[in-house]
């Protein structure tokens, strides 16, 4: 299920941004009601100059030294008119940087309209960088899937399938073979503006696995730091399913299927699990084969092409 992609203004005052030392200058009553919906921050210089269309809804507005010094040069009546227009726009919060004292008439307008204003002693460049990172992390589309995410030969491989099919046992075997765990059981996935799907595990499950008959284990403690990764792009989805006699399974690998996560297609393989099949080795081979495909080598297509050429030669020989 996709999570709501909004951030309350109050969330900026949390532990993740404590290095900015943000403090409330006014508008405390709306810290929970005002929401930030756009990860890109703005500097409202053009709006202060009278171009109000520049202000985009749901963005944090950064006021630094250059904006403040410009405003000091504007006549008080014209400045008051611009403040009135700007504070009436759908601005969730203003952040004033470098410890600058806000102009009293600006603060009065924000207070009158209950627009939150935060202050920080950090430089504008630092505030913009940190807020942009924080908002991008919290505002991108997010979902959670039941499965196991591993790094295999540099690929992010997501194992999915029904309960009891052997996902965790397969993952444990792969970890013992030198690959790395990203998330077990509940995989959180974010889709970034670049299009990358990045998976990770929320605390307190991070670095842990549940194995039936054994219980919860800490993979990092058992196998070392190299056996775990904090996050990884999802490059391949493999669905493990119980073998069903009589069901048709792809034998050549010519079919190119995809699995959709957050409206983004990911290469997908359906892998039957049966007694006597070493599933971890099959998953490892699937990952190796996918790396070859990314490099332009398609074994199944090359085999089919050679087979077709051989059949064509046989037809030509037989017709003579």
Give catalytic residue positions. 146, 167, 185, 251
Record the tokens describing residue 30, joined without a space. 């709306």
User: By the 8 A CB rule, do 116 and 10 touch?
Assistant: no
The verdict on whether omega for the bond into residue 204 sits within 30 degrees of 0, i.e. cis, is yes
Quote the CA–CA distance of 93 and 79 in Å, as a whole number.
Answer: 19
Record the tokens describing residue 137, joined without a space. 């992390």
Q: Say whether 240 sits in a helix, a strand or coil.
A: strand
Quote the CA–CA distance of 181 and 95 in Å, as a whole number.
Answer: 40
Beta-carbon contacts of 79 under 8 Å, excluding residues fewer than 6 positions away, are: 71, 103, 105
DSSP secondary structure letters along 21-89:
--EEEE-GGGTTT-EE--S--B-THHHHTT-GGGPPTT-EEEE-HHHHHHHHHS-HHHHHHHHHHHHTS
User: By the 8 A CB rule, do 271 and 160 touch?
Assistant: no
**Strand ranges, E, within the chain:** 7-8, 23-26, 35-36, 60-63, 93-96, 117-119, 142-152, 155-161, 180-191, 197-200, 208-211, 215-218, 231-233, 236-242, 257-261, 264-273
């Amino acid at each position: 299920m996709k999570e709501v992609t909004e951030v309350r203004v109050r969330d900026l005052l949390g532990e993740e941004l404590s290095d900015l030392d943000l403090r409330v200058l006014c508008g405390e009553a709306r810290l929970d009601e005002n929401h930030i919906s756009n990860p890109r921050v703005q500097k409202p210089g053009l709006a202060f100059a009278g171009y109000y269309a520049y202000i985009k809804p749901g963005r944090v507005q950064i006021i630094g030294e250059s904006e403040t010094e410009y405003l000091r040069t504007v006549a008080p009546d014209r400045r008051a008119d611009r403040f009135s227009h700007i504070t009436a726009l759908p601005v969730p919060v203003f952040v004033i940087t470098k410890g600058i004292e806000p102009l009293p008439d600006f603060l009065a307008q924000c207070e009158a309209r209950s627009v939150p204003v935060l202050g920080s002693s950090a430089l504008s460049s630092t505030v913009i960088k940190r807020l942009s990172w924080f908002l991008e992390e919290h505002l991108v589309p997010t979902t959670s899937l039941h499965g196991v995410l591993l790094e295999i030969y540099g690929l992010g491989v997501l194992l999915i399938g029904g309960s009891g099919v052997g996902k965790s046992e397969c993952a444990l075997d792969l970890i013992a073979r030198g690959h790395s765990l990203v998330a077990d059981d509940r995989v959180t996935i974010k889709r970034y503006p670049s299009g990358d799907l990045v998976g990770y595990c929320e605390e307190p499950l991070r670095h842990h696995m549940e194995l039936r008959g054994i219980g919860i284990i800490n993979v990092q403690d058992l196998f070392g730091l190299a056996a775990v990764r904090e996050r990884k792009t999802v490059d391949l989805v493999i669905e493990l399913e119980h073998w069903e006699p009589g069901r048709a399974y792809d034998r050549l690998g010519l079919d190119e299927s995809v699995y959709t996560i957050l409206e983004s297609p990911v290469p997908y393989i359906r892998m039957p699990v049966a007694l006597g099949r070493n599933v971890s080795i099959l998953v490892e081979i699937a990952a190796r084969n996918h790396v070859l495909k990314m490099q332009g080598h398609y074994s199944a297509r090359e085999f089919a092409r050679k087979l077709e050429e051989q059949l064509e030669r046989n037809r030509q020989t037989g017709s003579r």
